[in-house]
Amino acid sequence: MHHNYIDRYSDGNTIIHSIDARVKILSAILFSIVVVGLPRYSIAPLIWFMIGPFTIFILAKIPFKFVISRIVIAAPFIVALAVCYSFIDSESRQVNFGPWQMQIRESLLICANIIIKFTLTMSALTALTATTPFSSLLCGLEKLYVPRLLILQLAILYRYIFLLIDIVGRYLRSYSARSLRYLGFKREMTIRSAMIGSILISSLDISERVNLAMMARGFDGKIHALSQEKIRGRDFLFAAIVCMYLVVLKVILW
């Protein structure tokens, strides 16, 4: 079955794809920290931060439709949180949009600020995951001293999420093949609850079988990895460009 997986475009051969995973991870983290650390009432200056991720999308030939779909998937929780903020009663504040000046309620400014910051950090994360194969990402995390147990969990999660999606797909197809009419809310909910229960049991079965397969190949709780990647000149150059870009924006805009 074909899935809409997060590193679908990671097999590209652009300059961005060839940058070491560690450099990309650190750049994405640094970018996110700088963005999150910006004042909570600033709106217009944040737009300048869009240039970075979007330059990467263009250089790495990542379709904008894919980027937007990633952001939209993660959006509901943050948007709900931000919208809640907008209902808080607060004073108005003068905001400059180039030559124009407007009086906007502080709560609305915070709401917009949260949504823009979220879009920026999600763009950075998407730029990272869309241009780095998941295995290289894990290798990079390992070299950055992220605990190996966490890395193994991520690796298995990434693999098994697709199997679980397959199971859910099979259940839904089987249900729709025999579901000829609406059975009423209560009955439909009972059926869906039973399906969720079966999916949970299936996932437990999978985890048990995976555990057996791991033990059969000598797994004793310790994780051994094979990482050979080395940082090259172009990686240093990329890191320097990212740092300069963030410093320049910080200095010019504030």
Q: How far lies 63's CA from each of 15, 115, 246, 254, in Å?
A: 16, 22, 24, 32
* Residue 163 binds to other proteins (criterion: CB under 8 A): yes
Among 26, 156, 168, 195, interactor with other proteins by CB under 8 A: 156
Among 80, 180, 212, 251, interactor with other proteins by CB under 8 A: 212
Rounded Cα gap, residues 125 and 140, in angstroms: 14
* Residue 230 binds to other proteins (criterion: CB under 8 A): no
* Residue 213 binds to other proteins (criterion: CB under 8 A): yes
Among 33, 219, 232, 247, interactor with other proteins by CB under 8 A: 219
* Residue 150 binds to other proteins (criterion: CB under 8 A): no
Q: Closer to other proteins at the Cβ: 12 or 133?
A: 133
**Site map for other proteins, 168-207, x if CB under 8 A?**
--------------------------------------x-
Rounded Cα gap, residues 8 and 12, in angstroms: 9
Among 61, 159, 187, 234, interactor with other proteins by CB under 8 A: 159
Q: Using an 8 Å Cβ cutoff, are 21 and 70 in contact?
A: no
Burial of 155 (0-12, 13-18, 19+ CB in 10 A): middle
